[in-house]
Chains A and B, each alone.
Chain A
Amino acid sequence: MNTGIVVFPGTWSDRDCAHALLDVLREPVRYVDYRERVLDDLNLVILPGGFSYGDHLRCGAIARFAPVMEAVAGFANRGGLVLGICNGFQILQEARLLPGALLRNASCEFRCEWAHLRVEQSDSAFTVDCRPGQVLRIPISHGEGNFFADAETLQSLEANNQVVFRYCAPDGRITADANPNGSLRNIAGICNARGNVVGLMPHPERACEALLGGEDGLAIFRSAIHALGRVPA
């Protein structure tokens, strides 16, 4: 699996992603500059977390117009695997590669803590290695992760099985207490209709080693390797 990790001005989770893939999973990785226009050598593109362009105007609003995003859209439309994490999720929504928007957390606070996610479907490229109902423990770190979509979009996301992750209690129950940011229906991550583009607020790249508190994030990266037809390490 050849992974490209996109670096915008203000991105900061790029090296954490590279560490998880290269050092933990032994998968080749390269950084993709935001000015690049060709991604033909890649089968997975990650838009990592951070504060691209200082989050000015809206999170992801400026990054969405960076030269690389046209290539990312083309790559996604050809079926390439795209994972947007945190700010990367916000960018995918601004680019209309995923529906909805992420508002300020209901608490108005930046939340940096471990969260539990219930895997809602194992059809997306990033959950084929999981089973529906499985609970993953993965940290969040954001001030604007409050998932919003209008009623019609929400209905279509649910009907088409595009809700991939929901915030849950450790036992998998979907509760208001487990919702860290006010997201509608506890939604933590969604995919496009084809299932090759996934965005989520939590940071799987920070949960890939027991030494760092957990390795549930590996399931997401291993799923991508599986989806590309290989057996992960």
Chain B
Amino acid sequence: MIYRAEVFVTLKPVVNDPAGLTIRGGLQALGFDSVKEVRAGKYLAITLDEADEDHARSRVEDMARQLLANAVIEDFRIELNQDGPS
């Protein structure tokens, strides 16, 4: 089965995010006064071929733990969908 995983990597809440702060400043300068906080992160779309959804999820979790996210500073979240006609 072909699965499509979307991995969202974000800085842990305790980690300062200079990019997010800069973007927030930009938004506020544009007049978006309601903006309280911006956190910047990474988005990865991974297409993989696995026997079933459990295997696919477990493989992507391994990828995130080993390489995609650095547990010292980052958290990750995975959204998994079967690709193609269902």
Contact = CB atoms under 8 A, between A and B. Distances in A.
A94 B68 CA distance: 12
B70 A146 contact: no
A24 B2 CA distance: 58
A149 B16 CA distance: 11
A93 B18 contact: no
Contact of A105 (B18, B42, B67): B18
Interface stretch (A40-48, A57-65, A125-133, A161-169): A57-65
Nearest to A184: B16
Contacts of B48: none
Contacts of A58: 70
B18 A146 contact: yes
Chain A interface residue number, banded: 20 to 34
Contacts of A107: 18
A65 B67 contact: yes
The interface size bin for chain B is: 10 to 19
Given A57-B67, A61-B67, A65-B67, A182 B18 contact: yes
A148 B17 CA distance: 11
B28 interface: no
B15 A103 contact: yes
Contact of B73 (A62, A108, A148, A182): A148
Contacts of B15: 103, 148
A177 interface: no
Contacts of B73: 101, 103, 148
B51 interface: no
A214 interface: no
Nearest 5 CB-CB pairings of A with B: A101-B72, A101-B73, A108-B18, A104-B18, A106-B18
5 contacts: A57-B68, A61-B70, A103-B11, A149-B72, A182-B18
